[in-house]
Amino acid sequence: MLIYWVGILTIQALLFAPSPADAEEVYGPPNAQQSIPSTQDKEDGADVSTKELIDLDHPVEHALKSLPAKSGYTVIPLPAFATNRNEGYWAGGLTPILKTNSKGDTDEMFVPQYLYNPRVGHYGSLNYFGYPSDREQYHAFAWFGQRLDQGIDLGYKNVGVGGGGRYILAADLTAFKNPFARFFGFGSRTIEAQETNYTSRELLVKLTAGIWLTPDLALMLTERYRNVRVDDGIIDSLPGTAQRFPAIPGIEGAKVLGHGLTLRYDTRDSQLMPTKGAYVNLLAEFNQNLQPHEENQWGHAVLDARQYIPHSSDQMIFVSRMLFEGVFGQIERRGTTLGVPFYEQATLGGEDTLRAFGRGRYIGSWAVLANLEERVTVLNKTMFGVNAHLELAPFLDIGRVGQSSVKADHLFYRHVQFSPGVGFRLLIKPTIVGRFDVAYGSDGANVFVGLDYPF
């Protein structure tokens, strides 16, 4: 589980205080540039003296400057509160510890955290992020809740390996128990009354190796293993998924082995905080379910296309995204259709697709999605010795899942889901994005908070 960053709002409130310092996935091309060079950061107000900050007319700045910040480290204790449709509320605190390099850029972050959730109980996590460069990143998360919500997540990515940075390497290992998982049935016409809850126990190992064919075009091979077990959930007010849907594919668990080939075109100026350029990712994957008595094979395809267009003197960035995902292939044995496990099918809902809905709200054999977002810079300021930016981001998400071909589904347009909303983003240039997104859809309002852009 990633950090609940509603504590970001505390920083945002402080950022609006008057101050003399007022100023204006990572696989990407090895020649990508940071969106704002550190030399520009200095020109925009990073070189502010301590005397200027300790000013009786600006007591908030004085208080902020009193936080521990020496030897390249800044410690920021914050309250934390979050709520979303699937999990309910979380409340507690976190303490980001930021390390800056000689250029003033944040290249490491360690975040211990304590939260309380009525269903999970007391919950603690340790989260570490490393950003040696725009090409290389790594993270290590560990979390433990009193009831079921536990796990670890380790990851490393480097898109500039070897002489000339021509090769790509990545590895991920995740093992967790998520007691908040939901299933509503298949297709776009499922209703809230069909909602069920289960605990997903998962082990995921993913290895990626690739090569840059040109400075903007990469070819990657991916091997993944996913072991899933479906257990009873934690939401007493909801029926269990296995009880209401005892015959759906994957309810007995799955051991999925996937072999993927990805072609990626990427002209973005930064992998972490892009401000211009294009990104197109095309994935074709062959999968096998190795679970005894449920052998099955299917194909999986994803097309993810994004465009970043700066305008209004680069104070605004219009971002558009089109996503198509589909699974193909089922077999029949002894009169029984052995389908693709439901958690391996195309899914909409969550912080990076339809933000008005909880994760896994809509599941089908295919999904189409459009995201439109305007990222508006409303404040630039140097605080704690780092370059902080505040963005306002109105957005609209439009999506639909289905169980048949698009041509055959004559009700396609009637069941499209709309998810308008607004996001608040705190950027610590050039590596960290904290976000708070609020959206509204047919199921009501929803909130997501976390790290990184949704796309």
d(CA 104, CA 291): 51
CA atoms lying within 13 Å on the CB side of residue 337: 8
Can you give the pLDDT at residue 88? 87
Q: Look up the CATH number of domain 5-451.
A: 2.40.160.50
pLDDT tens figures, 135-184: 889 999 999 999 989 999 999 999 888 878 899 999 999 999 999 999 99
Q: Which two tokens stand for residue 125?
A: 């996590």
Going by C-alpha positions, the residue among 107, 99, 100, 105 that lies closest to residue 36 is 105
Start-to-end C-alpha separation, the chain? 18
pLDDT at 78: 85
Q: Helices then strands (H, E): number in the chain?
A: 5, 26
How open is the CA angle 371-260-451, to the nearest 5 degrees?
40
- The answer, yes or no, to whether residue 373 has pLDDT greater than 60, is yes
Q: Could you read off the pLDDT of 33-70 as tens digits, one per residue?
A: 333 333 334 334 333 333 333 333 444 444 444 455 45
Q: What is the pLDDT of residues 279-330, one digit of tens each?
A: 999 999 999 998 866 668 899 999 999 999 999 998 999 999 999 999 987 6
Whether the pLDDT of residue 408 is over 70: the answer is no
Within 37-118, strands assigned E span 69-70, 73-75, 78-84, 88-94, 97-100, 106-117
pLDDT recorded at residue 24: 36
The pLDDT assigned to 100 comes to: 81
Q: Is the pLDDT of residue 410 over 60?
A: no
Provide the 3-class DSSP secondary structure of residue 28: coil
423, 426, 428, 432 alpha-carbon torsion, rounded to 10°: -50
Of residues 304 and 381, the one with the higher pLDDT is 304
CA–CA–CA angle 266, 267, 273 (5° rounding): 90
User: Cα separation of 372 and 118, whole Å?
Assistant: 35
Instruction: Identify the weakest region by mean pLDDT among 99-103, 121-125, 350-354, 423-427.
Output: 99-103
Q: Which two tokens stand for residue 167?
A: 């090769």
pLDDT at 189: 87
| Confidence at residue 404, expressed as pLDDT on a 0 to 100 scale | 65
Q: What is the mean pLDDT of the chain?
A: 82
Cα distances from 72 to residues 18, 61, 75, in angstroms, run 25, 19, 10
Q: Give the type of residue at 49.
A: S
| pLDDT at 169 (0 to 100) | 96
Distances 250 to 188, 238, 257, 358, 415 between C-alpha atoms, Å: 20, 20, 14, 21, 26
Q: What type of residue sits at position 131?
A: Y
CB 7 within 8 A of CB 424: no
